[in-house]
């Protein structure tokens, strides 16, 4: 919603509901998260089908010690949550482009 407020130049201090802002934009519900999810899954399928550096970075693990604090949310965690599969299973499914879509 923050990006929609910036587009409409509405300050965060203005007491406007999210529903009011979506009505002003002519939207029924927030489509932004749906679009981001769709694009992430599409890019995951693209990366999983190719054998290149991006795929190695996606599947590989960096050697060394873990940083302090809570572990960060990873891109692969989103993919596995949305699809209901592990990342390895999802990459196997992504090899068949038509069924993955």
Radius of gyration from C-alpha coordinates of the chain: 19
User: Which residues lie closer than 8 Å to 43 by C-beta, 6 or more apart?
Assistant: none
pLDDT at 45: 83
As a whole number, the mean pLDDT across the chain is 80
d(CA 92, CA 89): 5
| CB neighbour class for 52 (10 Å; exposed up to 12, middle 13-18, buried from 19) | exposed
Confidence (pTM): 0.58
Separation of alpha carbons 25 and 12, rounded Å? 17
Residue that the structure tokens 């939207």 belong to: 27
pLDDT at 99 over 70: no
């Amino acid at each position: 919603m923050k990006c929609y407020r910036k587009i409409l130049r509405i300050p965060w201090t203005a007491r406007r509901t999210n529903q009011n802002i979506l009505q002003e934009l002519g939207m029924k519900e927030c489509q932004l998260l749906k679009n981001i999810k769709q694009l992430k899954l599409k890019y995951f399928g693209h990366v999983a089908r190719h054998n290149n550096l991006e795929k190695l970075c996606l599947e590989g693990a960096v050697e060394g010690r873990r940083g302090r604090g809570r572990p960060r949310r990873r891109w692969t965690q989103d993919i596995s949550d949305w699809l209901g599969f592990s990342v390895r299973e999802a990459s196997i499914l992504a090899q068949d482009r038509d069924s993955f879509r």
